[in-house]
Amino acid sequence: MKNYLKLTSVLIAFVLLTTACGSKKSIELLSPDGKLAYHLQMNEKGQMYYGLSVSGDGMLANSKLGLQLKEELAFTDNLKIVSHSENGVNETWKPIWGPNDTILNQYNQLTVSLLNGTGKELKLHVRLFNDGLGFRYEIPQQNGIDSINIVNELTEFNFVQNGTAWSIPANFDSYEMLYRTTKLSEVADANTPITTKLDGGYYVSIHEANLTDYAGMTLKNMGGTNFQANLVPWPDGVKVKAKSSLKSPWRTIMLCQNASGLVESNLIQNLNEPCAIPNTEWIQPMKYIGIWWGMHLGVETWTPGPLHGATTKNMKKYIDFASEHNIEAVLAEGWNTGWENWGKPKAFDQLTPYPDFDFDEIVRYAKSKGVELIGHHETGGDYLFYEECMDDAFMKLHVNGIRVVKTGYAGPIPNGQYHHGQKMVQHYRKVVETATKYQLMLDAHEPIKATGISRTYPNMMTREGARGMEWNGWSEGNPPEHHVILPFTRCLGGPIDYTPGTFDILYKNRGEYIKWNSNDKGNSRVNTTLAKQLALWVCLYSPLQMASDLVSNYEGQPAFQFFVNLPSEFDESKVLSAEIGDVYAVARRKASNWYIGAITDENAREIDLDLNFLDADKKYIATIYADTENTSLNENPTEIKIITKEVDSKTTLHVVMKSSGGQAIEIKESEK
């Protein structure tokens, strides 16, 4: 457990004040390595623009900045730079958990103070890293401002080049959409992160960091390859409401020479505040299983009745399985009353178990087996009712020694609010803060997007916010390319609770099921091979990592040993192969052992993995879980071979993957 923060920082600050007469019309800032250049420019109307280039090549140009407010005080035109200052930061910090145990935070910063025509101040904070840019607006406390209503954020991302883009639509309520692969210029609107490979070869991803008390940002195409921020509105059309001051989230532009650079970037986390929780000993990554997939498959129900999943008997079976297989925790959905009212207001009672779920006995039993329980609070979207009972509900978990809760917002938000608007951003944060009070770790489904706040609140472990495994239960499912797009889009914001691990890929063991979801056309399946399911546990990082199938489908399966052996936290990660929408391979180290996941899209693919990251003085044994000659996505997706071989730092592993296949590898230091 990395339960401490170590900051070493070098601060070089110098202030550049503009001369009294005439204000500056343009300012340049360079990245620490001098390759990225940020350019801020004022035109004759006092409008503000920025551009970004790499080694002299323009990436973004003439991109507007500013805030349009309902009040008189617009920060759009007639702006004048009154002062600016620059400083540089070069520090490392230790996250409480994460794919790496040390993070470098190195950037040059520019702070610009501007006045509008009525003498009101706007600040612009700009941080330029070697792998991208972050900037935010601040309306500081000042006389004459006691109410702020942002009706439009002017921020543009005006790409100089076209490219190939991977995006989901700018839906204000859901991120559970399939990714579109199009020309950048063909994207009409998008949620973030949106990622593009520019025609000149650079990889760029637009997102936001530290989304706090502000509306979520979507992007709207303003023509060609120019995109403008389109904030999710309140019911009255206003985008952001504040009293007398505000700070926007950071608008972020990751910019890398290759796709692996995006994955290895820490820009989003670095633009968040350090850990705000003094004692973090109760925060701990875990692997988990749970009563969950049966409901999505339609063979169990959340509601009581003959197929009720969350019964005392079933929970004990899962607890036994967890304790026998090195799995820290068990989730139960459908344990509490109210599921029969899903869709109605005030449906869920987060305190009262169904009669066939003996809460006290399950708590006692889990404890006796050394297994943790994961609580579940579905709200159906009724955040108002959840806020009424949240303290009591969290207290109930806390006093029973439960340290994790999964939340859900599957349903409309009351009173015309959207899932991704400011009101809900406030709510999701309130949940994190309240959970901190009760020492609870969170796994949020139907969440607000991940913007790196886990640095500040490391109990915000993981979240959904993408089409996860559940879609395979009752729809046409997630296509093979989905998994090789996620690491370069959704996952750039932070960990994902995708819940990999379906072993019964064609649902051969499902038997009779009840169709419960209108998306179900009767042809659902998981669109991968079994080896790819194993690899996803490594590729899709989550500090709460689920093996999502029914435990009966893991019994007697040698391939499940990979999950049994997989650590729940890592010290270091290295991307070995990355091309968006095609292929992804990553290696993660825990102590001296390594775990590799490699996955491909619908195309069968062979890649070579150079193990030069292994310790040159050591010998290792690799256990390889691979697609076989006979594995085939359509006819025979579950065939897998498990081979062991000696490897060392000079080994190159030749990885053969079938259509939507993959490979999972455990490399252990050899005893010999």
Report the catalytic residues.
470
**Is the Cβ of residue 234 or residue 292 nearer to ligand NOJ in the bound state?**
292
CB-closest chain residue to Ca ion? 445
d(CA 496, CA 487): 9
Q: CB under 8 Å to 143, separation ≥6 — which residues? A: none
Provide the minimum distance between the beta carbon of 468 and Ca ion in the complex, in angstroms, as a whole number: 6
Cβ atoms of residues 350 and 328 within 8 Å: no
Nearest to 545 by CA among 594, 484, 499: 499
Note whether 410 binds ligand NOJ by CB under 6 A. Answer: yes
Among Ca ion, ligand NOJ, none, the one that 75 touches (CB under a kind-dependent 5 to 8 A) is none
Q: How far is the CB of 482 from ligand NOJ (least distance, A)?
A: 15
Please tell me what DSSP assigns to residue 117.
Answer: T
Q: For ligand NOJ, which is the closer residue by CB, 156 or 470?
A: 470
Q: Which of 470, 569, 601, 627 binds ligand NOJ (CB under 6 A)?
A: 470
Residue 333 touching ligand NOJ (CB under 6 A) = yes
Q: Which two tokens stand for residue 613?
A: 């990251």
382 binds ligand NOJ (CB under 6 A): no
Identify the CA nearest to 239 among candidates 155, 122, 358.
155
Rounded least distance, CB 249 to Ca ion, Å? 23
> CB 478: neighbour CB atoms within 10 A?
23
Please state the closest distance from residue 470 (CB atom) to Ca ion, in A. 6
Rounded to 5 degrees, φ, ψ at 341 are -105, 10
Helix (H) or strand (E) run with residue 103 in it: strand 103-115
Tell me whether the omega of the peptide bond preceding residue 274 falls within 30 degrees of 0, making it cis. no
Residue 137 site contact among ligand NOJ, Ca ion, none (CB < 5 to 8 Å, cut-off depends on kind): none
The residues binding Ca ion (CB under 5 A) are 445
Q: What is the DSSP letter of 549?
A: S
Strands (E), 421-479: 441-444, 460-463
What 8-state DSSP symbol labels residue 336?
B
Report what 54 binds from ligand NOJ, Ca ion, none; CB cut-off 5-8 Å by kind: none
Nearer to Ca ion, 418 or 595 (CB): 418
- Shortest separation between residue 446's beta carbon and ligand NOJ, angstroms: 6
Task: Name the CA radius of gyration of the chain, rounded.
Answer: 25
Q: How far is the CB of 509 from Ca ion (least distance, A)?
A: 24
Site for ligand NOJ in 225-264 (CB under 6 A): none
Q: Which of helix, strand or coil describes residue 614?
A: coil
Contact in structure between 610 and 596 (CB atoms under 8 Å): no
Cβ 176 to Ca ion, closest distance in Å? 6
Q: Which two tokens stand for residue 114?
A: 């501007």
Nearer to Ca ion, 357 or 471 (CB): 471
Question: Among ligand NOJ, Ca ion, none, what does residue 569 contact (CB within 5–8 Å per kind)?
Answer: none
Options 290, 309, 381, 408; binder of ligand NOJ; rule CB under 6 A: 408
661 binds, among Ca ion, ligand NOJ, none (CB under 5 to 8 A by kind): none
Buried b (16+ CB within 10 A) or exposed e, 456-473: bbbbbbbbbbbbbbbbbb
| Residues facing residue 644 across a β-bridge | 623
Task: Look at residue 173 and give the partner it binds from Ca ion, ligand NOJ, none, a contact being a CB closer than 5 to 8 Å depending on partner kind.
Answer: none
Residue 333's binding partner, choosing from ligand NOJ, Ca ion, none, with beta-carbon cut-off 5 to 8 A by kind?
A: ligand NOJ
Cα dihedral sign, 542-545-546-547: positive
Chain centre to alpha carbon of residue 276: 20
C-beta of 300: minimal distance to ligand NOJ in Å?
11
Binding of ligand NOJ at residue 490 (CB under 6 A)?
Answer: no
Among ligand NOJ, Ca ion, none, what does residue 153 contact (CB within 5–8 Å per kind)? none
Distances (CA, A) of 39 to 62, 68, 80: 9, 22, 16
Strand order in the sheet with 240-242: 67-69, 148-153, 240-242
DSSP 410: -
Nearest to 327 by CA among 571, 568, 589, 588: 568
Pick one of ligand NOJ, Ca ion, none as the site partner of residue 131 (Cβ within 5 to 8 A by kind). Answer: none
Q: Is 445 in the site for ligand NOJ (CB under 6 A)?
A: yes
**3-class SS letters over 205-251:** EEEEECCCCCCCEEEEEEECCEEEEEECCCCCCCCEEECCCEECCEE
* Distance of closest approach, residue 475 Cβ to ligand NOJ, in angstroms: 13
CA distance 323 to 370: 7
Of 470 and 549, which has the nearer Cβ to ligand NOJ? Answer: 470
Residue with Cβ nearer ligand NOJ (244 or 341): 341
Smallest separation (angstroms) from ligand NOJ to the CB of 97:
22
Please report whether residue 464 would count as binding ligand NOJ according to CB under 6 A: yes
> Least Å distance between CB 475 and Ca ion?
12
Contacts of 338 (CB under 8 A, 6+ apart): 347, 348, 349
SS3 readout for 505-539: CCCCCCCCCCCCCCCCCCCCCCCCCHHHHHHHHHH
Q: How many angstroms separate the CA atoms of 391 and 387, rounded?
A: 8
Q: Which is nearer to Ca ion, 136 or 467 (CB)?
A: 467
The single-letter code of the amino acid at 565 is N
Quick one: what does residue 86 bind among ligand NOJ, Ca ion, none, with the CB cut-off 5 to 8 Å set by partner type? none
Report how many residues bind ligand NOJ under the rule CB under 6 A: 8
Q: Which x/- pattern, by CB under 6 A, does the window 283-322 give for ligand NOJ?
A: ---------x------------------------------
The residue type of 662 is G
Q: Which is nearer to ligand NOJ, 382 or 470 (CB)?
A: 470
666 in contact with ligand NOJ (CB under 6 A): no
Neighbours of 149 (CB within 10 A): 16
Residues 6+ apart with CB under 8 A from 509: 550, 552, 553
> 193 or 309, CB closer to ligand NOJ?
309
- Residue 408 contact among Ca ion, ligand NOJ, none, beta carbon within 5 to 8 Å by kind: ligand NOJ
Tokens 């002299």 — which residue?
56
In the complex with Ca ion, the residue whose CB is nearer, 242 or 410, is: 410
Q: For the CB of residue 410, give the shortest distance to ligand NOJ in the complex, in Å.
A: 4
- Residue 378: which of ligand NOJ, Ca ion, none does it interact with, CB under 5 to 8 A by kind? ligand NOJ
Q: Please identify which residue in 131, 156, 378, 666 interacts with ligand NOJ, judged by CB under 6 A.
A: 378
CB atoms within 10 A of CB 257: 12
Nearer to ligand NOJ, 261 or 473 (CB): 473
420 or 445: whose CB is closer to ligand NOJ?
445
Interface contacts to ligand NOJ, rule CB under 6 A: 292, 333, 378, 408, 410, 445, 464, 470
